[in-house]
A and B are shown apart, each in its own frame.
Chain A
Amino acid sequence: MHRGKGMKFVGDSRIPATGRKPNIPKDYSEYPGKTEAFWPNFLLKEWMVGAVFLVGYLCLTVAHPSPLERIADPTDTAYIPLPDWYFLFLYQLLKYTYASGPYNIIGALVIPGLAFGALLLAPFIDRGPERRPAKRPFAVGFMLLALSGIVYLTWQSAAHHDWEASKKQGAIIEGAEFDKESEGYQLLDANGCISCHGAELTGGAAAPSLVDTGLTPEEIANIAVKGRGGMPAGMFKGSDEELEKLAEFVSSLTAK
Chain B
Amino acid sequence: MLTKIYDWVDERLDITPLWRDIADHEVPEHVNPAHHFSAFVYCFGGLTFFITVIQILSGMFLTMYYVPDIKNAWESVYYLQNEVAFGQIVRGMHHWGASLVIVMMFLHTLRVFFQGAYKKPRELNWIVGVLIFFIMLALGLTGYLLPWDMKALFATKVTLTIVDSVPLIGPAMKTLIAGDATIVGAQTLTRFFAIHVFFLPAALFALLAAHFLMIRKQGISGPL
Could you tell me the distance in whole angstroms from the C-beta of A228 to the nearest C-beta in chain B?
Answer: 24
Kindly state the separation between the CA atoms of A245 and B121 in the bound complex, as whole angstroms. 78
Q: Is the CB of B118 within 8 A of A122?
A: yes
Q: Per a CB cutoff under 8 Å, which of A21, A32, A72 touches B20?
A: A21
Kindly state the separation between the CA atoms of A84 and B151 in the bound complex, as whole angstroms. 9
Q: Is the CB of B16 within 8 A of A86?
A: no
For A22, what are the chain B residues with a Cβ–Cβ distance below 8 Å?
A: 16
Q: Per a CB cutoff under 8 Å, which of A42, A57, A68, A170 touches B77?
A: A68
Q: Is the CB of B141 within 8 A of A87?
A: yes
Does any Cβ of B come within 8 Å of A34's Cβ?
yes
8 Å CB interface, B19-43 against A: 19-20, 22-29, 32-35, 40, 43
With A62-B88, A86-B102, A130-B116 in contact, do A81 and B12 touch (Cβ < 8 Å)?
no
In the complex, the chain B residue whose C-beta lies closest to that of A56 is B100
8 Å CB interface, B127-174 against A: 127, 130-131, 133-134, 137, 140-141, 144, 147-155, 157-159, 162, 165-167
Interface string of A37-70 (1 = CB under 8 A from B): 1111110011001100110011011101111111
In the complex, the chain B residue whose C-beta lies closest to that of A132 is B224
Q: Per a CB cutoff under 8 Å, which of A38, A81, A119, A122 touches B25?
A: A38
For A170, what are the chain B residues with a Cβ–Cβ distance below 8 Å?
A: 149-151
Q: Is the CB of A35 within 8 A of B28?
A: yes
For A143, what are the chain B residues with a Cβ–Cβ distance below 8 Å?
A: 110, 113-114
Kindly state the separation between the CA atoms of A81 and B134 in the bound complex, as whole angstroms. 23
Q: Is the CB of B88 within 8 A of A61?
A: yes
In the complex, the chain A residue whose C-beta lies closest to that of B222 is A131
Kindly state the separation between the CA atoms of A35 and B26 in the bound complex, as whole angstroms. 6
Q: Per a CB cutoff under 8 Å, which of A65, A104, A116 touches B134?
A: A116
Does any Cβ of A come within 8 Å of B214's Cβ?
no
For B74, what are the chain A residues with a Cβ–Cβ distance below 8 Å?
A: 68, 71-72
Kindly state the separation between the CA atoms of A58 and B94 in the bound complex, as whole angstroms. 11
Does any Cβ of B come within 8 Å of A190's Cβ?
no
Overall SS of chain B's interface: helix
Does any Cβ of A come within 8 Å of B84's Cβ?
no
For A36, what are the chain B residues with a Cβ–Cβ distance below 8 Å?
A: 26-27, 32
Does any Cβ of B come within 8 Å of A238's Cβ?
no
Does any Cβ of A come within 8 Å of B96's Cβ?
yes
In the complex, the chain A residue whose C-beta lies closest to that of B27 is A42
Q: Per a CB cutoff under 8 Å, which of A31, A67, A74, A86 touches B140?
A: A86
Does any Cβ of B come within 8 Å of A126's Cβ?
yes
Does any Cβ of B come within 8 Å of A91's Cβ?
yes
Kindly state the separation between the CA atoms of A80 and B224 in the bound complex, as whole angstroms. 48
In the complex, the chain B residue whose C-beta lies closest to that of A205 is B150
For B23, what are the chain A residues with a Cβ–Cβ distance below 8 Å?
A: 25, 37-40
Q: Is the CB of B22 within 8 A of A38?
A: yes
Q: Is the CB of B14 within 8 A of A61?
A: no
Could you tell me the distance in whole angstroms from the C-beta of B127 to the nearest C-beta in chain A?
Answer: 6
Q: Is the CB of A126 within 8 A of B47?
A: no
Q: Is the CB of A62 within 8 A of B92?
A: yes
For B20, what are the chain A residues with a Cβ–Cβ distance below 8 Å?
A: 21, 23, 25-26
For B117, what are the chain A residues with a Cβ–Cβ distance below 8 Å?
A: 131
Does any Cβ of B come within 8 Å of A234's Cβ?
no
- Listed A/B pairs (13) with beta-carbon separation below 8 Å: A10-B11, A42-B32, A50-B46, A67-B95, A71-B148, A74-B184, A80-B154, A83-B144, A83-B155, A87-B141, A120-B131, A129-B120, A133-B116
4 A-B pairs closest in CB distance = A61-B92, A131-B116, A81-B154, A66-B95
Beyond A49-B47, A140-B114, 15 additional pairs, beta carbon < 8 A: A20-B10, A57-B54, A65-B92, A68-B77, A70-B150, A82-B151, A83-B158, A84-B98, A86-B140, A87-B137, A108-B165, A120-B127, A120-B130, A132-B116, A133-B114
